[in-house]
Amino acid sequence: MQQIVPEEQLSDQQMINVIQYQNQMTQTNPNIQTFRTNQINVYKSLRNRSVFKLAFSLLELFLYFLALCLLPKPCANTTLSEFFILAIIVNTIEAFRILYLLLIIYNDLIEVYQSEGENRLPYPEFSFANTKYLIDAISDYHSSYKFIKYLMIVLNIVVFMFGQVQIYRNLYGECEIGEPEFNFTWGVALTFLILKYITIGIPTLIVVIYLLVLPFAYCINLSNLQKRNTGASPENLNKLKIEMVGQERISEDNECVICLQEFVGGEEFVRLGCHEFHVFHKACISDWLKARSECPKCRQAVRFN
């Protein structure tokens, strides 16, 4: 019988130790396992949402295609046919984007399950606590998906703008709304318009209002800060009531927070009206108030009276 070389036996033993250590770490480190389980749950949540969006996108695609095929002859001479064709193209790209995302999720989950003993995740520098952060991680790692995602944003806005123009143009034309034979056509078109107003129109309006209001809010806030940080005039500084430090403590810490020095008997100090313990050396608070007329402790405006 061939005798095992001690060096080979030691090497095998080392491998066994490494495997046992990895298994022990997997079993005895609940934090890692909990973190891993949370990430997998986020993946599954995103997968379920994507499947629902794909089904909804395919339903929209079917309705647009059906509306185009059943378009009455009077409507065929209008731009509604162009609108439905453009909507079909955009929805096809959207369905492809979702399928691509589902393929990425599927491959990532396979990698997660295969690397269970290593506790390794596809995007280690991302700690995604919800699906939004996971989508951001996928976009950063997969540039093609990122390109399609932003392309869809642009295309959806274009179709939304083009669609509402064409729909409003044809409301009372050859394909007049309210006629029984045009009910299905207008039903699909107006449903599209309502959905786009909810998903694109309202968020866009909020962003526009925010961008318009933000400069005014910034200017008002800046003006208030400038007024608040305006230094006190010499006339107001002369109105400060000056007291002398005696034997008793004049505050809780008996210290001026500006120079961080304790008060000594015989020194001049000023007690501000915002709080009885907001006391400072006369020289310190004078220099402070020349720069900004607020209390160094509570930041309230100083009243000179």
Confidence of residue 7 (pLDDT cuts 50, 70, 90): very low
pLDDT at 2 over 50: no
pLDDT digits (tens, 9 = 90+) for 100-138: 999 999 998 888 888 766 666 677 666 666 788 888 888
Share of residues in the chain with pLDDT > 90 (%): 15
Q: Which residue, among 175, 200, 185, 183, has the nearest Cα to 77 in the 3D structure?
A: 175
pLDDT at 304 over 80: no
- How far is Cα 302 from Cα 270, in angstroms, rounded to an integer? 12
pLDDT digits (tens, 9 = 90+) for 165-198: 888 887 777 777 777 777 888 888 888 888 888 8
pLDDT digits (tens, 9 = 90+) for 20-60: 545 555 544 556 677 777 888 888 999 999 999 999 999 99
pLDDT at 98 over 90: yes
Q: Which two tokens stand for residue 116?
A: 């269970």
- Note whether 269 and 282 are within 8 A (CB): yes
- How far is Cα 300 from Cα 105, in angstroms, rounded to an integer? 54
- How far is Cα 209 from Cα 203, in angstroms, rounded to an integer? 10
Residue 190: per-residue pLDDT = 85
pLDDT at 6 over 50: no
Strands 268-271 and 255-256, by their bridges, are unpaired
For the chain, report the end-to-end CA distance as a whole number of angstroms: 106
- How far is Cα 203 from Cα 199, in angstroms, rounded to an integer? 7
What would the mean pLDDT of 79-85 be, rounded to a whole number? 86
pLDDT digits (tens, 9 = 90+) for 227-272: 655 677 888 888 888 888 877 777 777 888 888 888 888 888 888 8
Average pLDDT value for the chain:
80
Residue 95: per-residue pLDDT = 94
Contacts 24+ apart (CB under 8 A), 86-93: 86/159, 86/162, 86/163, 87/60, 87/159, 87/163, 87/192, 88/61, 88/64, 90/152, 90/155, 90/156, 90/159, 91/57, 91/60, 91/61, 91/64, 92/61, 93/148, 93/151, 93/152, 93/155
Residue 34: per-residue pLDDT = 73
- Note whether 247 and 237 are within 8 A (CB): no
Residue 58: per-residue pLDDT = 94
Residue 29: per-residue pLDDT = 53
What does the H/E/C string look like for 224-242? HHHHHCCCCCHHHHCCCCE
- Note whether 26 and 112 are within 8 A (CB): no
